[in-house]
Structure 1
Amino acid sequence: MSPSKPAVLLIPGAWHVPASYNKLTNLLKSSGHDIHVPSLPSMNGARPPTADLETDTAHIREYTQQLADAGQHVVIIAHSYSGQIASNSLTGLWATTRAQQGLPGGVVHIISLCAFMVREGFSMTDVVHHFGHDDYMPLAYDFAEDQTVVDRDPKGRLVSPGPGDDDVEVEGYLGTLKRWNGKCMSQGLSTDRVAWRDIPVTYVHTIGDMTTPLAYQQWMVGNMKEDGVEVETVELDTGHSPNLTKAKEVAEIVDMVVARYKK
């Protein structure tokens, strides 16, 4: 990889571990990208949970800041829940802001894969509540007494619709998914200023999404635009896991964005 090419930092979503993104990251690596996929503390398997959105935020901020301090420009990929992490953790790490402070590197762009990109103080469940879908939560998710959670139908809700993906590939993907700290869903953003107010965003709409429905995605992007933020949007005809079902198309989007920041 050329040192003038931004690194790509993929922040996993809920239930996902780095291996969940192997199809996408292998494509990106084959194109010469420097890929980073750190594990989330909230996915550490502890029962009861020992990490949450705040812990994830601190971890990703430290990881990103290390890349920036090394002089690296960074393109972020945020998937689903990790839109909350990106919004919370990247404030002040925009490359332009750092340059003004005489600091090297920094985040140059956020690519949102059907991610929760909400305003300050908002949680994922606030979005659900806005649409009056609170009663769907226990139907979709299996919460244990310690509030760890799994999806009741991961194939139907996370993968479908996913034309072109064979059963072996899908089953391999589903096998990577783990129990997660469901308390993260109801934790609001704590930052005084969410990062997407400063860092350019490309929002990838997944129009067949059963987990973050298209109406949710459009509402969040609408709020961003209402607040004066320019958001580039792309549509993919797929469900909640474009990293699996539309990996080639996502890789092409990453290629397009990274190319803008080559020196």
Structure 2
Amino acid sequence: MSSPKPALVIVPGASHHPSHYTALATGLREANYTVTTVDLPSTGGKDRGEPPLTSLKPDILAIQAHITSHLSEGKNVALICHSFGGISGSAAAQGFLPTDREDGLGVVKMIYLAAIIVEPGKSVWEQGGEKHSPSVEFPLPDPEDAGWLRFRDPEKNFYAECTPEVQKEAISKLRWFSEGMNRELVPFSAWQHVESYYLVCGKDQVLPAFVQEMWTSNPKGKWKKVERMETDHSPFLSRTTETVEFVTRSLEGTS
């Protein structure tokens, strides 16, 4: 008898809102999966009058709240992590593996979409040579915005393969991101402990494909499948159907 389908938790990338992932979530629900998307504290606090974060912990706790909710319903969980969500999502799995729990439930798969991969004890800042990507604007010109960053040219860097209509809507939803998140040491990397799947985006202008491929060649990873799609940094918008298919293949263990 086949195992019940896991519940899915989508972990957004930096500056992204849960609504960016609506089409992906809808496609996965049509495939009969339970799906929730995390609204990360590190993104958008400026809009709520909150200061930027300097710790990964609030994001980790927000993700773990989703994990806990699904586990309480008797469902295993798979995390779908985009971009910087690869950091916070991977860290959030700590303590939530099936071997950590008496009921044997937990995070059973990690699915990464053009996601950042960092080993425990290191930071994104260190791994990037202690400099920001050219796509990042930091510091911002107004001193009152200290601690926040935003991304330059999202039309090119995030959504180059999307239609003009999708680009316009996606850009309108972008929020600022807490720059200090980049400097936090990663406490736990689930890809070293959990069956993991990665979608390399071949036309990514933020995280070059060769970097993504380097990360997924790390022998410490439990990489089950790595696929490549010739699209931009946001395959859930530019190639939604194909991304849903990649996720469902990963979940179902089919080639």
d(CA) in 2 for partners of 1:113, 1:92: 23
CA contact 1:70–1:105 (8 Å) conserved in 2: no
In the TM superposition, residue 50 of structure 1 has moved relative to its aligned partner by 4.5
CA contact 1:71–1:106 (8 Å) conserved in 2: no
d(CA) in 1 for partners of 2:135, 2:205: 13
Matched, 1:251 2:254: no
Judged with a 3 Å threshold, the aligned counterparts in structure 2 of structure 1 residues 143 and 246 are, in CA distance, closer, same or farther, namely farther
In the TM superposition, residue 197 of structure 1 has moved relative to its aligned partner by 1.6
Matched, 1:141 2:137: yes
- Code of the residue aligned with 1:76 in structure 2: it is L
Identity within the alignment, %: 24
SS in 1 for 2:169: helix
Structure 1 stretch displaced more, 144-153 or 39-48: 39-48
d(CA) in 2 for partners of 1:171, 1:230: 35
Q: How does 1:1-263 map to 2 (within 5 A)?
A: 4-43=4-43, 44-45=45-46, 46-50=49-53, 52-95=55-98, 97-98=99-100, 101-129=101-129, 134=131, 137=133, 140-144=136-140, 145=143, 146-160=146-160, 162=161, 165-191=162-188, 194-223=189-218, 225=219, 227=220, 229-260=222-253
Unaligned runs of 5+ residues in structure 1 are none
In the TM superposition, residue 240 of structure 1 has moved relative to its aligned partner by 0.7
Q: Which runs of 4+ in 1 moved over 4 A?
A: none
**What TM-score, normalized to structure 1?**
0.85
d(CA) in 1 for partners of 2:118, 2:208: 15
In the TM superposition, residue 204 of structure 1 has moved relative to its aligned partner by 0.7
User: Per-residue displacement from partner, 1:143-193 (whole Å, max 9, x unpaired)?
Assistant: 334120110111111112x1xx321122111111111111112222024xx
Higher share in helix = 1
User: Per-residue displacement from partner, 1:88-113 (whole Å, max 9, x unpaired)?
Assistant: 11023223x14xx4324211111101
How many residue pairs get aligned? The number is: 246
d(CA) in 2 for partners of 1:186, 1:150: 16
d(CA) in 2 for partners of 1:183, 1:50: 6
SS in 1 for 2:216: helix
d(CA) in 2 for partners of 1:64, 1:47: 25
CA contact 2:191–2:221 (8 Å) conserved in 1: no
Unaligned runs of 5+ residues in structure 2 are none
d(CA) in 2 for partners of 1:179, 1:56: 15
d(CA) in 2 for partners of 1:151, 1:210: 12
Judged with a 3 Å threshold, the aligned counterparts in structure 2 of structure 1 residues 138 and 234 are, in CA distance, closer, same or farther, namely closer
